[in-house]
Structure 1
């Protein structure tokens, strides 16, 4: 398992650096410090290697969702903060998301990933509405199916424009827009304060 992780992380660095098409198995093996034979033992094709990166990215990102936060809204904001942090520091996460948007061969894995994310985020929105933190005519499913693509777009544009240097303030602004629209006006300062605590106030 340690060698497999080593190979996945080397592959992620290559995929993130040059994309799927330009990545070679030889370059991944060199980056991982293993022979090509050892690499093929774990991943028989480059496609299998890319799918392995996407699968591992899914595991790492889903692990940031916590149901032990003091409120569902806090859990939503904390999850986005955790994933944004990993996009800046974890090559598997950044490469996995890049790959998921890059090629048709990854469509099934990518669709399952987003379906699961939308389902999980919708569940948190359902709890937030039930607790009275949010008040909206939108359904939890509509909120989840909108916020997940919003986050994906925010991080993608941030990557293109600034190499993700503005990612934290961009995600914070996203949450300010969403929560200003759907938070109960009587309690709005609290969820907006959660965003400030998570990301700071820098614009």
Structure 2
């Protein structure tokens, strides 16, 4: 059984829930199964998470924290920073069950729509801020606004990783995200920066 310490127990329950949500989805996963996977009683689980919804929201919150941490690049090039961040998130999708589960249940279950919407609004706002820096530095063209670029990149990446999951279990995720960036660099980067940024894509995903 998991140690009674609240922090360790909570983390074990969130990880166990993520494993079940990632494998089975929100509807099919059971509290009894999650409790068994966490090594705690159902009563102990319910004291921390009164409902399955509260447990799912905890998984989504932890997924948010882990994916936002991937935006920690300090590269002076705004677009290079985004490219590197997307590699970090792709790595998490392939290796971190909490990230995979949080994204899966946030997209599949209507009762979590509010939390999901808030997550994507935060992501879009953060990416828009980076695109504003890119516009100001002359890396990207001004024909499309930073707001439009941010609102496009986030769903583009989401769609790439979802299709990769369906087609190959994300085995082709890295080359798929690299192709996404090659398309974007050719489409929106100012010509003097294209070769350098394509080199960043190659180095990041090569």
Tell me the TM-score normalized by structure 2. Answer: 0.95
- 2:122 matched to which residue of 1? 116
Cα distance in 2 for partners of 1:187, 1:85 equals 26
- 2:183 matched to which residue of 1? 177
Query: 1:5-24 counterparts in 2 under 5 A?
Result: 5-24=11-30
User: Structure 1: which 5+ runs fail to align?
Assistant: none
Cα distance in 2 for partners of 1:3, 1:196 equals 42
- 1:56 matched to which residue of 2? 62
Once the two structures are TM-superposed, the CA of residue 70 in structure 1 deviates from its matched residue by: 2.6
Q: Which moved more, 1:96-105 or 1:69-78?
A: 69-78
SS at match of 1:186: helix
Which of 85, 102, 114 is the matching residue for 2:91? Answer: 85
SS at match of 1:23: coil
Which of 66, 79, 84 is the matching residue for 1:73? Answer: 79
Aligned length: 200
- 2:205 matched to which residue of 1? 199
Once the two structures are TM-superposed, the CA of residue 66 in structure 1 deviates from its matched residue by: 2.0
Please tell me whether residue 27 in structure 1 is matched to residue 26 in structure 2: no
Which of 44, 48, 62 is the matching residue for 1:38? Answer: 44
Which of 100, 111, 116 is the matching residue for 1:105? Answer: 111
Alpha carbon RMSD of aligned pairs, Å?
0.9
Once the two structures are TM-superposed, the CA of residue 21 in structure 1 deviates from its matched residue by: 0.8
Once the two structures are TM-superposed, the CA of residue 67 in structure 1 deviates from its matched residue by: 5.2
Cα distance in 1 for partners of 2:44, 2:182 equals 48
Cα distance in 1 for partners of 2:47, 2:85 equals 35
Residue pair 2:79, 2:131 contacting (<8 A) in 1 also? yes
Once the two structures are TM-superposed, the CA of residue 137 in structure 1 deviates from its matched residue by: 0.5
Which of 127, 152, 156 is the matching residue for 2:133? Answer: 127
Residue deviations 1:37-80 (CA, integer Å, cap 9, x gap)? 11111111111111111111111111111252131111101111
Once the two structures are TM-superposed, the CA of residue 187 in structure 1 deviates from its matched residue by: 1.8
